[in-house]
């Protein structure tokens, strides 16, 4: 378990932190994957049939690359928590862990006798993180809460719809923003609780809701609803090119001046519609139309190169396939290699680097139950000490 002295180590920053991971699907597993990336010892507790994500495509030799992306670097243990003897093994692991992570529907861990109130006396230093759709208690807390449901219920989908020009219904949900955002906040909350524990010796329960996470994405919208009136908001829309689209963001006055010169449109600098920020906001669509007249005569890459050379924020719309091979992403570790029993694959890495810490390389996703015996042996040894 974590020791205060490890704060001065140049090893992986979470080396020595033991995580009992009872989470499944995406939000919890992604959080614990990032903790494993930072050196934590993560024991992934799975039911006999395994995490549902093990069956999700794409599959290679029966192994899910999607599962590997979310679970590399962990140890897999099979426990049937409905059985008293397996639930007891889970309690023993909790007693020996720094962090517990779970994302069952509220009340499930209590039925297993593994909720925070039931286990905190055995390990008062435990940081216990529960991820759910709407919180652990209160109205609606037991509602089913997959990410698309919370997206619709949060107001986010309709807020995005209001920003579109021609779309008449909310966008299809395929990218699970709620899960990824909840995983991010869970990691932040766990680190905060661990810091609190280092100062006080006490653990605590973290109640994290996907709904709360999504609501945090809409500060401007929240304030406009409370204080209605004339609110100007520039929308940075895709501009057509000969082979795709670019987005250009002349946010500051300096950006606008540079863009006008790069596009060889000096008349914009004296046009009363555009020359000042307030006027530009009032005539934003007219400016976008004028910008599009320039971009549509060029290739997307040429637009980006010419504008960036002038110091104007701009980018073509880049396909994910290209970003998987982006040298900057690879250099920073934003795209990294992970392994499973079927070989290697590329997955997203941590979105930051640490100057004084070494992070593990090429983590491996475990096969189902691969480390069950190892956990039982570790707990048996701990009981004899």
pLDDT in tens, 169-179: 999 999 999 99
Q: Any residues with CB less than 8 A from the CB of 73 and at least 6 apart, and which?
A: 33, 36, 37, 42, 338, 360, 363, 364, 365
> For residues 146 and 183, is the Cβ–Cβ distance under 8 A?
no
Specify the pairing of strand 99-102 against strand 18-21. Answer: parallel
* pLDDT confidence of residue 367: 98
Running DSSP on this structure, what letter comes out for residue 242?
Answer: S
What is the mean predicted confidence (pLDDT) over 303-325? Answer: 97
Alpha-helical (H) ranges within 227-317 are 253-262, 277-282, 284-295, 300-309
pLDDT exceeds cutoff 50 at 199: yes
Q: Which of 154-163, 286-295, 356-365 has the lowest mean pLDDT?
A: 356-365
Q: Which of 139-148, 209-218, 290-299 has the lowest mean pLDDT?
A: 139-148
Query: 284-311, pLDDT tens digit by residue?
Result: 999 999 999 999 999 999 999 999 999 9
Q: Any residues with CB less than 8 A from the CB of 98 and at least 6 apart, and which?
A: 1, 2, 17, 18, 19, 125, 126, 127, 194
CB atoms within 10 A of CB 105: 14
Query: 23-59, pLDDT tens digit by residue?
Result: 999 999 999 999 999 999 999 999 999 999 999 999 9
Query: 54-90, pLDDT tens digit by residue?
Result: 999 999 999 999 999 999 999 999 999 999 999 999 9
* pLDDT confidence of residue 5: 46
Which class in CATH covers the domain with range 239-316?
A: alpha beta
* pLDDT confidence of residue 360: 83
> For residues 93 and 126, is the Cβ–Cβ distance under 8 A?
no
| Cα dist from 152 to 25, 106, 141, 220, whole Å | 19, 21, 16, 19
Counting residues of the chain whose pLDDT is more than 90, the rounded percentage is 92
Identify the sign of the CA torsion 64, 66, 67, 73. Answer: positive
The domain spans of the chain are 4-218+326-384, 239-316
Q: Any residues with CB less than 8 A from the CB of 346 and at least 6 apart, and which?
A: 324, 335, 336, 337, 338
* pLDDT confidence of residue 6: 45
Q: Which of 5-9, 107-111, 320-324 has the lowest mean pLDDT?
A: 5-9
* pLDDT confidence of residue 361: 83
Specify the CATH number of the domain 4-218+326-384.
Answer: 3.40.50.10540
């Amino acid at each position: 378990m974590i020791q205060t002295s490890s704060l001065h180590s140049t090893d992986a920053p979470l080396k020595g932190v033991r995580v009992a991971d009872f989470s499944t699907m995406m939000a919890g597993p992604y959080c614990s994957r990032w903790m494993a990336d930072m050196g934590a010892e993560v024991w992934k507790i799975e039911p006999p049939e395994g995490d549902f994500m093990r069956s999700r495509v794409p599959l290679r030799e029966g192994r899910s690359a999607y599962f590997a992306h979310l679970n590399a670097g962990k140890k897999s243990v099979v426990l049937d928590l409905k059985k008293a003897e397996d639930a007891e093994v889970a309690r023993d692991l909790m007693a020996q862990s720094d962090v517990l992570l779970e994302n069952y529907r509220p009340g499930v861990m209590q039925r297993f006798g593994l909720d925070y109130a039931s286990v905190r006396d055995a390990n008062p230093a435990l940081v216990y993180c529960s991820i759910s759709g709407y919180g652990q208690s209160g109205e609606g807390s037991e509602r089913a809460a997959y990410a698309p449901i919370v997206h619709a219920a949060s107001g986010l989908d309709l807020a995005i719809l209001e920003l579109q020009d021609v779309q008449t219904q909310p966008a299809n949900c395929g990218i699970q923003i709620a899960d990824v955002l909840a995983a991010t906040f869970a990691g932040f909350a766990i680190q905060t609780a661990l810091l609190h524990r280092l100062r006080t010796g006490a653990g605590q329960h973290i109640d994290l809701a996907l709904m709360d996470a999504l609501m945090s994405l809409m500060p401007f919208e929240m304030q406009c609803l409370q204080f209605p009136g004339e609110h100007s908001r520039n929308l940075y829309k895709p501009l057509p090119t000969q082979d795709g689209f670019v987005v250009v963001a002349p946010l500051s006055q300096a950006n606008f001046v540079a863009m006008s010169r790069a596009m060889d449109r000096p008349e914009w600098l004296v046009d009363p519609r555009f020359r000042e920020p307030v006027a530009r906001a009032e005539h934003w669509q007219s400016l976008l139309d004028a910008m599009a007249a320039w971009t549509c005569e060029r290739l997307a890459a040429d637009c980006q190169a010419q504008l960036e050379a002038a110091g104007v924020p701009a980018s073509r719309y880049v396909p994910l396939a290209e970003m998987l091979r982006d040298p900057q992403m690879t250099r920073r570790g934003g795209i990294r290699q992970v392994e499973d029993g079927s070989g290697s694959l590329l997955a997203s890495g941590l979105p930051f680097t640490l100057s004084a810490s070494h992070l593990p390389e090429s983590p491996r996703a475990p096969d189902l139950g691969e480390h069950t015996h190892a956990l039982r042996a570790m707990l048996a040894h701990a009981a004899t000490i």
